[in-house]
C-alpha cells in the first residue's frame, strides 16, 4: 500500500477567535515602523490592500501632511492626488480609502479624542473602515467599524503575514517619501494652526462606492479643478 505524507493544512489566518485579522505584508509593516521611528511626531497614511482580501495590507502610503506630537492635518490636494493615482492603477476605493493607519510617538496605541472624532467624521460615511494605531514599543490598536445594516464595531487582532511573497526594504525611497510628505510643525500642538484633518468637501456627501471613479470630480475641490485646467 502506497503511503503518502500528509502535510498539515495551513490554517488560514483570516480569523482569530472568530474575529477578522488585520494583516500586513512584511514590507508594508517595515515601512510603517520606519516612519514611526523616523521622527517625534504622529505619522498617518492609508493601507492599500489586495482586491480579494481587503484586510491584507500590501502597502503603507503616506500623503503630504502637517503633523505634531499628537496631531495630523492632511493636505487635501495631496489626498485627492493620491486617490486619483490609485484609481489610475485600477484599484477600487475599498482597497485604498478604508484603512487609516497612524503612529503614536508615545507608548499608548489607544485612540485619542481627536482620533475618534476624525474616524467618525471622515470615515463615518464609508460602508466600513478600520482605524489602526501603532505606538512606540510596538503596541497596536485596530478597530473595524461597519456603517451598513445595523452597524457595529469591534477591535480586531493584528498580524504580520509572511505567507505571501513580499518585497525588499526600500529605505532610500521611504526616506525620500518621509521628507516629501511629513511636515513637522510644533505650532499644531498648541493650537496656533487650525485645520481639519481632511476637508469634508473632499470626501463629499456620499460614501465611497465602487462606482466612485466615475464620480470623482465631485470629490475634487474647485482649487484643484482650476489647477488642472491650467
Under the rule (CB under 5 A), what is the footprint of Zn ion? 112, 115
Q: Is residue 30 helix, strand or coil?
A: helix
How many angstroms separate the CA atoms of 33 and 215, rounded? 35
CB of 8 to Zn ion, least distance (A): 40
Q: Using the minimum distance from each CB to Zn ion, give the nearer residue, 92 or 144.
A: 144
Judge whether 62 and 177 are in contact, CB under 8 Å: yes
Q: Using the minimum distance from each CB to Zn ion, give the nearer residue, 156 or 220.
A: 156
CB of 115 to Zn ion, least distance (A): 4
80-113 in b/e form (b: 16+ CB < 10 A) is bebbbebbeeebbbbbbbbbbbbbbbeeebebee
Q: Using the minimum distance from each CB to Zn ion, give the nearer residue, 39 or 204.
A: 39
Residue with cell 445594516: 149
Q: Using the minimum distance from each CB to Zn ion, give the nearer residue, 23 or 36.
A: 36
Residue nearest to Zn ion (CB): 115
CB of 48 to Zn ion, least distance (A): 20
Nearest to 203 by CA among 193, 214, 215: 215
Q: In what order do the strands lie in the sheet with 152-155?
A: 152-155, 140-146, 128-135, 99-104, 44-50, 53-61, 22-24, 158-160
Q: Using the minimum distance from each CB to Zn ion, give the nearer residue, 115 or 177.
A: 115
Q: Using the minimum distance from each CB to Zn ion, give the nearer residue, 173 or 186.
A: 186
100 Cβ partners below 8 Å, 6+ apart? 44, 46, 47, 118, 119, 122, 123, 129, 130, 131, 132
123 Cβ partners below 8 Å, 6+ apart? 98, 100, 129, 131, 145
CB of 42 to Zn ion, least distance (A): 6
CB of 225 to Zn ion, least distance (A): 32
CB of 41 to Zn ion, least distance (A): 11
Amino acid at each position: 500500500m502506497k503511503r503518502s505524507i500528509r502535510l498539515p493544512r495551513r490554517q488560514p489566518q483570516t480569523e482569530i477567535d472568530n474575529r477578522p485579522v488585520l494583516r500586513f505584508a512584511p514590507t508594508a509593516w517595515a515601512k510603517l515602523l520606519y516612519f514611526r521611528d523616523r521622527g517625534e511626531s504622529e505619522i498617518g497614511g492609508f493601507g492599500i490592500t489586495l482586491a480579494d482580501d481587503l484586510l491584507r495590507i500590501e502597502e503603507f502610503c503616506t500623503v503630504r501632511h502637517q503633523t505634531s506630537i499628537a496631531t495630523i492635518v492632511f493636505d487635501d490636494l495631496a489626498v485627492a492626488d493620491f486617490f486619483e493615482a490609485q484609481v489610475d492603477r485600477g484599484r477600487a476605493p475599498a482597497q485604498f480609502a478604508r484603512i487609516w493607519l497612524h503612529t503614536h510617538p508615545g507608548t499608548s496605541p489607544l485612540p485619542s479624542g481627536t482620533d475618534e472624532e476624525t474616524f467618525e467624521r471622515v470615515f463615518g460615511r464609508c460602508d466600513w473602515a478600520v482605524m489602526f494605531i501603532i505606538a512606540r514599543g510596538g503596541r497596536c490598536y485596530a478597530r473595524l467599524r461597519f456603517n451598513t445594516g445595523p452597524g457595529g464595531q469591534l477591535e480586531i487582532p493584528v498580524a504580520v503575514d509572511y505567507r505571501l511573497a513580499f518585497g525588499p526594504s526600500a529605505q532610500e525611497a521611504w526616506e525620500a517619501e518621509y521628507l516629501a510628505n511629513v511636515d513637522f510643525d510644533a505650532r499644531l500642538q498648541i493650537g496656533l494652526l487650525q485645520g481639519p484633518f481632511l476637508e469634508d468637501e473632499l470626501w463629499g456627501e456620499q460614501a465611497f462606492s465602487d462606482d466612485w471613479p466615475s464620480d470623482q470630480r465631485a470629490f475634487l475641490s474647485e482649487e484643484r479643478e482650476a489647477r488642472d485646467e491650467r
